[in-house]
């Protein structure tokens, strides 16, 4: 009987070695997915360094929304591959990540918003992604609890409907990748902070950590919130500002909502988990900060706007609220790839509020880059040099809420 219910450890804690082929800084979904896909390619001398417990940063603090209804052809193709990888992830990892493709609606409360959604629908369709404009009757049918009357200050007029979008269990994704990577020989070192990166003649040679030094020729910066600090260790300044992003969760309720609802105009997004809790978030805080503290003004503002959409939540209690921190780039697209002048240093950063959605594709394509030395076509547009070359990939219009 005991054997039946005995739980085995998800990953193995091994001693920190003094040499690895690849060192990944950041033990969130991006770092762990990269380690997993490197190991799948046979690159197993890999260390993942995480200064806290794994998934303690943005991977454990996001609102777990998955979608690919972006605004640029580059963004749509990239996030579409991520959705496809998420679709097969439970089977690939042998671990249920509870991906619920319940559908995703971005609401429009003004003509200008409808125009923006129409452009996205067309770019999505041209890229083969299911996404279309729908009107009040269909919205009412899909989401009976939503107030689609003329009553609210900003009545709902239309929506971008994206059926493949949905929600996932973010901890399970992190644990599943960690387990898969560890089983293939990757070393995961929690509570191991990177304190410096050594270079010689423009080539990475090692990483210093609070637990000892490591020799390596390849380092990936897969951090969120602290990517500028890590980049500065090799003398690079990233075009990034870091802002808190807050969210809260309600007490569990009987199932009433089986779509992800986003209102950019009201700065709010709402979904209901399998446990019945509503997960509700808003825009990034307007000030730059590394703080994980949540605030009362956020809760008041976001709760108020949620009630404009769902008056039925009026008497519901809030269980808890929290904050994560987001690295924002000027064009709201990530920075991925190698870095001119620092051989062996790779970036997978600048995810703003889109990071969790991209974990599988970013991991898979970054692993391909590190293993082959060739930048995959899918991530070429996200290079650091786009800022000096003037080739921005503007994804602000696809943000869940306008910032
Ligand atoms: O882009 O869907 C999104 C999102 C939701 C919360 C943060 N980002």
| Rounded CA Rg of the chain | 21
pLDDT > 90 in the chain, percent: 95
CB-defined site of ligand 1, < 6 Å: 63, 65, 67, 269, 281, 353-354, 400
Q: Is the alpha carbon torsion for 216, 221, 226, 230 positive or negative?
A: positive
Indicate the pLDDT class of residue 7, thresholds 50, 70 and 90. Answer: low
Q: Whose CA is nearest to atom 4 of ligand 1?
A: 400
Residue 5 has pLDDT above 60, yes or no: no
Q: Distance from the CA of 213 to the center of ligand 1, in angstroms?
A: 37
CA distance 111 to 216: 54
- The mean pLDDT of 220-240, rounded to a whole number, is 97
Separation CA 350–CA 330 (nearest Å) = 10
The structure's pTM equals: 0.96
* Distance from residue 67's CA to the centre of ligand 1 (Å): 9
Nearest CA to ligand 1 atom 7: 353
The rounded mean pLDDT for the chain is 96
pLDDT of residue 1 exceeding 60:
no
Q: Give the model's pLDDT for residue 33.
A: 99
The DSSP result for 266-308, as a single string, is TTEEEEE-TTSPEEEEEEEPSS--------HHHHHHHHHHHHH
Burial label, 92 (beta-carbon count in 10 A; 0-12, 13-18, 19+): middle
Contact 31, 48 (CB under 8 A): yes
Residue of 259, 270, 401 to test ligand 1 pocket, by largest number of atoms within 8 Å of CB: 401
C-alpha 400 – ligand 1 centre gap (Å)? 5
What is 265-277 written as a DSSP string? TTTEEEEE-TTSP
Index of the ligand 1 atom closest to the CA of residue 67: 2
Q: Is 94 left (phi over 0), alpha (psi -120 to 50) or beta?
A: left
Nearest C-alpha to atom 3 of ligand 1 is from which residue? 400
**For position 403, what pLDDT does the model report?**
59
User: What average pLDDT does this structure show over 309-322?
Assistant: 97
Reply yes or no on whether the pLDDT at 243 is more than 90. yes
- pLDDT for the residue numbered 9: 84
Cα(20) to centroid(ligand 1), Å: 35
Report which ligand 1 atom has the smallest distance to the Cα of 63.
6
Expressed in angstroms and rounded, the spacing between residue 263 Cα and the centre of ligand 1 is 11
pLDDT at 400: 79
C-alpha pair distances (Å), 199 with each of 102, 233, 298, 313, 343: 47, 10, 43, 55, 9
pLDDT in tens, 42-92: 999 999 999 999 999 999 999 999 999 999 999 999 999 999 999 999 999
Mean pLDDT of 167-192: 98
According to DSSP, the β-strands at 241-250 and 318-328 are: antiparallel
Query: What local confidence, expressed as pLDDT, does residue 230 receive?
Result: 98
Strand segments, DSSP code E, in 7-138 are 22-25, 46-49, 65-66, 104-108, 132-135
Residue with CA closest to ligand 1 atom 5: 400
The interaxial angle of helices 170-183 and 29-40, nearest 10 deg, is: 30
Strand order in the sheet with 158-162: 132-135, 158-162, 104-108, 260-263, 268-272, 278-284, 241-250, 318-328
The DSSP-derived string for 174-226 is: HHHHHHHHHHTT-EEETT--EEEEEEETTEEEEEEETTEEEE-S-EEE--SS-
Q: How far apart are CA 403 and CA 287, in angstroms?
A: 11
Distance (angstroms) between ligand 1 centre and the Cα of 226 equals: 20
Region 392-398: mean pLDDT is 95
CA distance 145 to 266: 17
Q: What is the pLDDT of residues 331-352, one digit of tens each?
A: 999 999 999 999 999 999 999 9
For residue 152, the CA-to-ligand 1 centroid distance in Å is 24
Q: How confident is the model at residue 401 (pLDDT cuts 50, 70, 90)?
A: confident
Nearest in space to 112 (alpha carbons), one of 157, 163, 162: 157
Q: How confident is the model at residue 299 (pLDDT cuts 50, 70, 90)?
A: very high
User: Residue 194 Cα, ligand 1 centroid: separation in angstroms?
Assistant: 29
Measured over the CA atoms of residue 177, residue 181, residue 186 and residue 188, the dihedral's sign is positive
Mutate which of 58, 61, 62 for ligand 1? The one with the most ligand atoms within 8 Å of its CB, which is 62
Instruction: Please tell me what DSSP assigns to residue 13.
Output: -
Over residues 97-104, the mean pLDDT reads 98
Beta bridge partners of 100: 167
Q: What is the mean pLDDT of residues 351-367?
A: 98
Higher pLDDT, 9 or 138: 138
3-state secondary structure of 86: helix
């Amino acid at each position: 009987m005991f054997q039946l219910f005995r739980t085995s450890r998800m990953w193995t804690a091994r001693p920190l070695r003094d040499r690895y082929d690849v060192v990944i800084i950041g033990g969130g979904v991006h770092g762990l997915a990269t380690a997993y896909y490197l190991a799948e390619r046979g690159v197993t001398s890999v260390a993942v360094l995480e200064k806290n417990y794994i998934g303690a940063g943005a991977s454990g603090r996001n609102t777990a929304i998955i979608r690919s209804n972006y605004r640029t052809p580059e963004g749509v193709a990239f996030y579409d591959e991520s959705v496809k990888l998420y679709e097969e992830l439970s089977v690939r990892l042998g671990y249920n990540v509870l991906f619920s493709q319940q559908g995703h609606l971005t609401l429009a409360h003004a003509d200008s918003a409808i125009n923006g959604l129409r452009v996205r629908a067309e770019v999505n369709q041209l890229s083969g992604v299911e996404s279309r404009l729908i009107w009040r009757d269909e919205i009412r049918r899909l989401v009976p609890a939503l107030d689609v009357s003329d009553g609210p200050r900003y009545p709902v007029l239309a929506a971008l409907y994206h059926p493949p979008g949905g929600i996932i269990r973010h901890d399970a994704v992190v644990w599943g990748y960690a387990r898969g990577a560890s089983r293939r020989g990757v070393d995961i070192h929690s509570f191991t902070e990177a304190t410096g990166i050594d270079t010689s003649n423009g080539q990475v040679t090692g990483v210093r950590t609070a637990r000892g030094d490591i020799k390596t020729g390849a380092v990936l910066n897969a951090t969120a919130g602290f990517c500028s600090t890590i980049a500065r260790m090799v003398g690079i300044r990233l075009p990034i500002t870091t802002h808190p992003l807050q969210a809260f969760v309600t007490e569990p309720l009987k199932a009433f909502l089986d779509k992800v609802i986003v209102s950019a105009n009201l700065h709010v997004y709402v979904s209901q988990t399998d446990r019945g809790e509503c997960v509700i978030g808003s825009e990034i805080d307007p000030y730059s900060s590394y703080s994980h503290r949540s605030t009362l003004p956020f809760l008041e503002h976001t709760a108020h706007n949620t009630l404009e959409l769902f008056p039925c939540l009026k008497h519901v209690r809030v269980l808890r609220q929290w904050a994560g921190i987001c690295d924002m780039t000027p064009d709201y697209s990530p920075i991925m790839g190698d870095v001119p002048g620092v051989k062996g240093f790779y970036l997978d950063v600048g995810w703003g509020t889109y990071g969790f959605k991209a974990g599988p594709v970013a991991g898979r394509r970054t692993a391909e880059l590190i293993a082959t030395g060739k930048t995959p076509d899918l991530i070429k547009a996200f290079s650091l040099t786009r800022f000096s070359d003037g080739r921005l990939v503007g994804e602000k219009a696809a943000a869940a809420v306008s910032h």
